[in-house]
């Protein structure tokens, strides 16, 4: 292998490497940009969707039922009938290294809720679980779990009445983002031109 070919090969590896870029997303979803009573079950919130077996993930605003009391702005709940339907399911579009979620209500009864994380969007292995223990719902309590590759979190409530609302979901994702074709062609063209220039110089 002569020197000019070595230069060309090195440049092509660089161009190929540029074909995939890493995009890091750090987000907190506060639900405050939705309207009261809106159903956001399955809505793409930007890297995460929230679903509930009831088919309803409802926005609670203006402290309706005390759900958003002590948490800023809107919160979400699944109060269909007498109590919350478990679990509230948070599905991530790309692996997340941690999940933080707050849960609570206006206080006055005894609640507890549990955060559990998994390595798959459906099924998979449990990576960790943590519980608030008993509290009266106010102020909201935050729970955090960290793991190498979280793709789903579930929140389950137990308690005396109605359940809790959830708010302020935080997570961090590193996504592999392919570059658009024109950028790849430009990279390959530059590599070819550099290689030709090197060959001409060497000759
Ligand atoms: Ca909020
Ligand atoms: Ca409560």
Domain presence at residue 4: no
Answer whether residue 119 shows pLDDT above 70: yes
Domain presence at residue 54: yes
Domain presence at residue 56: yes
Domain presence at residue 195: no
- Here the tokens at position 134 are 């008993």
- In the chain, the N- to C-terminal Cα span, in Å, equals 15
Domain presence at residue 11: no
Domain that holds residue 54: 21-177
Q: How far is the CA of 59 from the centre of ligand 2 (A)?
A: 18
pLDDT one-digit tens code per residue, 24-36: 778 999 999 999 9
Domain presence at residue 8: no
Measured in whole angstroms, the distance separating CA 93 from the mean position of its chain's CA atoms is: 7
Return the minimum-mean-pLDDT range out of 7-11, 98-102, 188-192: 7-11
Answer whether residue 125 shows pLDDT above 60: yes
Q: Is the bond into 60 cis (omega within 30 degrees of 0)?
A: no
- The better pLDDT of the pair 197, 173 is held by 173
DSSP assignment letter at 39? B
Report how many domains make up the chain.
Answer: 1
Domain presence at residue 81: yes
- What pTM does this model have? 0.75
Question: What long-range pairs does 123-129 form, CB within 8 A, spacing at least 24?
Answer: 124/151, 124/152
Domain presence at residue 6: no
Answer whether residue 154 shows pLDDT above 90: yes
Q: How far is the CA of 14 from the centre of ligand 2 (A)?
A: 57
If you average pLDDT over every residue of the chain, what do you get? Answer: 82
Q: How far is the CA of 202 from the centre of ligand 2 (A)?
A: 78
Q: What is the CATH number of the domain that holds 68?
A: 2.60.120
């Amino acid at each position: 292998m002569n020197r000019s070919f070595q230069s060309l090969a090195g440049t092509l590896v660089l161009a190929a490497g540029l074909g995939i870029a890493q995009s890091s997303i750090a987000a907190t979803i506060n639900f405050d940009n939705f309207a009261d009573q809106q159903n956001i079950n399955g809505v793409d919130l930007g890297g995460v969707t929230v679903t509930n077996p009831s088919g309803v993930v409802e926005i609670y605003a203006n402290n309706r039922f005390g759900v958003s009391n002590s948490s800023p702005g809107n919160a979400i709940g699944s109060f269909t009938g007498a109590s919350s339907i478990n679990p509230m399911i948070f599905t991530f579009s790309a692996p997340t290294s941690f999940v933080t979620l707050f849960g609570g209500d206006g206080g006055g009864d005894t609640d507890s809720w549990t955060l559990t994380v998994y390595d798959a969007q459906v099924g998979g292995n449990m990576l960790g679980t943590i519980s608030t223990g008993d509290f009266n719902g106010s102020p909201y309590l935050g729970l955090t779990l960290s793991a190498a590759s979280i793709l789903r979190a579930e929140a389950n409530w137990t308690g005396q009445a109605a359940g809790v609302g959830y708010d302020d979901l935080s997570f961090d994702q590193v996504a592999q983002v392919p570059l658009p074709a024109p950028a790849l062609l430009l990279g390959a063209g530059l590599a070819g031109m550099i290689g030709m220039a090197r060959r001409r110089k060497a000759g």
